[in-house]
Amino acid sequence: MWRPRELAAVIETEIKLRWNGDASSAHQRVESLGYSASGARLLEADQLFDRESGELSRSSQALRLRISGGKATATYKGPPETGPYKSREELEFDVNDAEAFETVLSRLGYQRAFRYEKFRTKYSAGEGLITVDETPMGIFLELEGPGYWIDETATRLGFNRKQFLTASYAGIYREFRAAHPEAPKDMVFLDGEVVKH
């Protein structure tokens, strides 16, 4: 008898750090600590979906479709735990037909709530992962791994816990738009360049 495959729940633990400089200096800093890029710099085009009522957002859950490097990936993120890091359940799977997936979501009552783009470079770093994210609102580093590794790596990069950001890019961009009302509704590149404010 056929039984559906169970997806293994993964707990993702991460923080973001706002980099006060350009992408080149961020890469130089990470590489100066002995880390090497584990892949090419790729554009990640993300879409968050929600019902018109905003029920996923209100319950701190997320449903994302990511297109990057010719591949589409769907991700569910559960509500985060409180603490110095953002820790939450993450379920992820490949999507063969992104347009069909969006149509299915639409039929189920989900619509695109927010789009955001970033050029991301990944660095494998022992027990964790460092990414340099070039976004339309500036440069961010993301550290993903065990809490003690995040603390140690942030310190090596010159940051402390007071500088940890646990908000999503959607949340950070809402704050950015409050200070920059001229910014577009979605966090997307308008002219191919990173905007540094």
pLDDT of 176 reads 96
Residues 6+ positions from 29 with CB-CB distance below 8 Å = 157, 158
CATH (domain of 158): 2.40.320.10
Decide if 76 is inside a domain.
yes
pLDDT in tens, the chain (197 residues): 666 666 666 899 999 999 999 999 999 999 999 999 999 999 999 999 999 999 999 999 999 999 999 999 999 999 999 899 999 999 999 999 999 999 999 999 999 999 999 999 999 988 999 999 999 999 999 999 999 999 999 999 999 999 999 999 999 999 999 999 999 999 999 875 555 44
In a domain? residue 189: no
123 inside domain: yes
* Predicted local confidence at residue 194, as pLDDT: 54
Query: Using CA atoms in the order 91, 108, 60, 163, what is the torsion angle rounded to 10 degrees?
Result: 70
Contact assessment for residue 125 and residue 35, using Cβ atoms and an 8 Å cutoff: yes
Nearest in space to 16 (alpha carbons), one of 121, 171, 164, 150: 164
CA distances from 106 to 49, 100, 102, 176 (A): 9, 10, 6, 29
Whether 191 is in a domain gets the answer: no
In a domain, 47, yes or no: yes
Q: Domain for residue 146, yes or no? A: yes
Cβ–Cβ contacts within 10 Å for residue 138, how many? 19
Angle at 118 between CA 162 and CA 130, to 5 degrees: 50
Give the torsion through C-alpha atoms of 10, 43, 65, 112, to 10 deg: 140
Q: Which domain holds residue 123?
A: 10-179
**pLDDT for res 125:** 81
Query: What's the confidence (pLDDT) of residue 197?
Result: 41
Structural domain total, the chain: 1
Asked if residue 2 belongs to a domain, the reply is no
104 is a domain residue: yes
